[in-house]
Amino acid sequence: MVTSSIICLNTTKFAAKHSVLQQVYQDVLSPGIESVLRARSFENLSNQDSRLANSQVKSLIQNFDHEEIRHLFGYGSGVVAQEGYSSQTAQIDLMIITDDTRKFQKLNFERHPSHYSSLKYFGSDILQAIQNFGAGIYFNPFITMSSSDGSKQNVKYGIVSTKRALEDLCEWSTMYVAGRLQKPVQHLKIDELLLKANQFNLSSAFNVGLLLMSSQKKTEKVALSDLYRSIASISYMGDPRMIIGGENPNKVQNIVTRQQSKFRKLYNPFFQNNIKRGIIDECNDQEVRIRLDEAARSEMIYYLPKQFRQRLLNQYIDKRFDSSSNHSLETDSIEFQQSLETISRDENLEEALKMAIQATVAIPAFKQTMKGLLTAGLFKSARYAWEKKLKSWKRR
């Protein structure tokens, strides 16, 4: 059984017993986004350094109203190399984070009316309502833009509010932004608060990756590439595109194959932290040994993002409470302690985690797919779906 010193219900004392990194995250935890603005500075964010970002990709942001962009990152095969894809011909995927999506959309529409589907004729209120639907991201795909050297680039860009992005990074509300940032990206315009929130997102993804790899054994020797695949696969679980074949079935493998050094850099702070704690032993350059006992699993579950942790707990709550009661556990409740102890001993933890991930990803991803029919227009949506399907068939 997990000792009471590990399942400490006083969160301040709990953090004080454990790593420096977890202490830093304390202000981001139980209250979630409500207190992220009070989060203390992270000692080192060099793992998210993007000074080597592709200059051609970086120049594309000049097409947007720079003043209204809080944070901007590029992701996908056109930005970070993936096996089986040519970065010269791949679409450039961008995510624009802005404090005021309504204002940004208005200014962006005035500058680039051709980027928008026929929804533009229905006014800003309709655009904003559609913006807020699903994961809160408004995508404009198949856009041709010029970079600083005059070359043309095929671009897809999404627009999301700072609040929705922070909520996702801190609580895993949809894992739409958080999932993309769990893999190597290029940060093209940087906001320190977003990077701090993403550092917590990365820590959470690393912990879940460890739990998925070793939930049934106290000690597990694994290849680093398998651990990276475990992390990279999180945001694809439950994605309808993976289920119906609209996405490359080898997507995760292709990402990890070409990006192992980037994954190592991105997750190095959490590697080092867990090595110091005795949870990870480095066997060699290719393998590590994971040592997860009930106490370590309990701590990792305790520090999961707020909304995601509740989804995981719900699977155990339903066994002891009437599912119609909408019972929610606070971290200072006896039920929370009991559930944490139950989960840490559960031999089916891996399956429970996967179900919680699917519950997080599936509905927002489906809604975003449906929303794409409106924001892109039927022709662009059909073209996008067809090209995805062709890529999926070619790489089977």
What is the DSSP track for 263-331? HHHHHHHHHHHHHHTTSEEE-SSSEEEEE--HHHHHHHHHTS-HHHHHHHHHHHHTTTS-GGG-----T
Tokens representing residue 227 in the block: 């651990």
Residues in the chain: 396
Tokens representing residue 299 in the block: 């701590």
Tokens representing residue 128 in the block: 């904003």
What's 118's DSSP letter? G
- Give, to the nearest 10 degrees, the angle between helix 306-317 and helix 334-345: 80
- The per-residue pLDDT for range 270-288, each reduced to its tens digit, is 888 889 889 998 878 889 9
Q: How confident is the model at residue 373 (pLDDT cuts 50, 70, 90)?
A: confident
DSSP E strand stretches across 162-214: 186-189
Going from the C-alpha of 348 to that of each of 3, 172, 179, 214, the distances in angstroms are 21, 22, 24, 11
pLDDT of residue 315: 80
- The per-residue pLDDT for range 299-323, each reduced to its tens digit, is 888 888 989 988 988 887 655 444 4
The answer, yes or no, to whether residue 41 has pLDDT greater than 50, is no
Q: How confident is the model at residue 9 (pLDDT cuts 50, 70, 90)?
A: very low
The answer, yes or no, to whether residue 26 has pLDDT greater than 60, is no
Instruction: For residue 334, give every residue at least 6 positions away whose Cβ sits within 8 Å of its Cβ, in sequence order, or none.
Output: none
Which is more confidently placed, 124 or 87?
Answer: 124
- The per-residue pLDDT for range 125-184, each reduced to its tens digit, is 888 888 988 899 999 988 999 877 778 889 999 999 999 999 999 899 999 999 999 999
pLDDT of residue 32: 53
d(CA 358, CA 364) in angstroms, rounded, equals 10
Q: Give me the mean pLDDT over the 352-356 stretch.
A: 93
